[in-house]
A and B are shown apart, each in its own frame.
Chain A
Amino acid sequence: MSQVQLQEQALLETLREIDEEVALEVGVKKRFKVIVVGGSALLLAHATSRPATHDMDILKADEALSAVLARHPEVSDQAEVYTDRLPAGFRKRLVPISLSTRAVDFLRPCLEDLAVMKLYSWRKQDQTDLLSKDMLLEIDLNLLESLIYDPSEARKSSNTHLLYDRMVETYEKQYKRKATAKKERLIAAQNRKNR
């Protein structure tokens, strides 16, 4: 098993444990939602082949879960402050994390929403992730573009024009062409391999 697969197993185990603890302490009458973002979400989406750090970012969860989450120091809900970097309609596109659970539904934003978040940050690791083979083979670049320019998506959720404009500039000048070309090359190579 590769390091990334081991990490995926570890992440799923953490989620399973949280679910169990919620079921035991809060009960199973109501189902809760927990949204995983960041590097952990990418890993669970199989869109990265690099090991992620051990911390897991989630968006602010129901107050009833706070006691359980507080016992998992590796899980942080500080990512809530970055929701202005997720396109406004990201909740409509949430993808369930496949895990059989009792009390909690674990979800993650779709890859294109996560990519917008990364275009905002555009640190070295974000560039590596966004241009990685795993990401490019999975991502829908047309959907990404529409999320960036659609007035009801990234533009709507952004708190400041300055940050939004900078993200668009990053996309146009540093990502779009490079990603499209690399994706075409990867698909061509894959087709050649399949033939």
Chain B
Amino acid sequence: MRRTFEGWLHRYCCELTGLQTTSLKKLCRAVASKTPHAAEVVFLYALDKGKVSDAVRLASEDDLQHTWSVLESASAGYEGRAEAFLRDNYEKLGKRVQGVLDAYDSIDARAANSLVVKQQMSIAVVQLLDSAGVTRYRLCKDLGLNEGNVYAWLAGDPTKVSRATARKIWEYAEACNG
């Protein structure tokens, strides 16, 4: 299933506030009372929903209202487009607001990075297995892994094993070398 910024933002709001709701009123109340660190995420959620003025009105604390009013002016014209607001204005935004986009981008970055790392790991594993004189077959038997997937990974296909499995194999190969 395709991940969207909108869906992710909502889940992030729920995670930080501890609420399972789409109600902006409840989210704003949570920010004002017990989860102030969710302020930026809830603001962006309101922006994405086109309800920034409601959020500013619902901000019961002066500090929060001030912070959100500043963000409201900065995000004028971006109602319903929180991701575009973040991308277009990234350099001008505060660290905590930037952090929301960084967290979102880190999901794709992590997946892409993992492919590269798993390839590097497979090269290291091949060298370690060869120097220890351990066969691929023995490795698969000892770790209870699917031979086809492990062989394909060692032949250069990083999609065939998870990063956790690659790590497990790397550790095994290192242990074989004492």
- Which A residues contact B (CB, under 8 angstroms)? 3, 16-17, 20-21, 24-25, 39, 50-55, 71-74, 76, 78, 123-125, 128
Contact = CB atoms under 8 A, between A and B. Distances in A.
B120 A74 contact: no
B90 to A, nearest CB: 11
Given A54-B103, A55-B102, 4 more contacts: A16-B167, A39-B37, A53-B16, A73-B105
B93 to A, nearest CB: 13
A51 B37 CA distance: 9
A76 B105 contact: no
Contacts of B114: 17
Interface residues of B, number: 31
A3 B18 contact: yes
Main secondary structure on B side of the interface with A: helix
A50 B121 contact: no
Contacts of A124: 36, 61, 63-64
A20 B106 CA distance: 17
A73 B163 CA distance: 19
Contacts of B173: none
Most buried by A among B35, B61, B102: B102
B155 to A, nearest CB: 19
